[in-house]
Amino acid sequence: MNPFDGGEVKLFGLLRRGKVRSSRESVQYFADLNHDSAVEVELVAHAGGHVIPQPYWRYPRIWARRPKEPNGPAVIWAFFERQQPR
């Protein structure tokens, strides 16, 4: 499990998998890789565990919390709809 704020990755507190960047640092890394200012990079964060929040499907409770907002599929579609064809 990668920690959102970066740091050491641990699996159930036992297996150590090294250190990772924070989510925000990762987004900045990919933005910096692309010197073309017309390309958009966006981080959308939610407190929903391991599921994409959406109002259409109820995941089994054992998987994670079941948030309905933000509507993940709609957010993803809006992102790609804004992109200009190359």
Per-residue DSSP letter, 76: H
Residue 6 confidence class, pLDDT cut points 50, 70, 90: very high
SS3 content of the chain, % helix, strand, coil (to 5): 25, 15, 60
Query: Is the pTM for the entire model greater than 0.85?
Result: no
Q: pLDDT (tens digit, 9 = 90+) per residue, 57-70?
A: 776 666 556 677 78
Q: Which residues are paired to 19 by β-bridges? A: 8
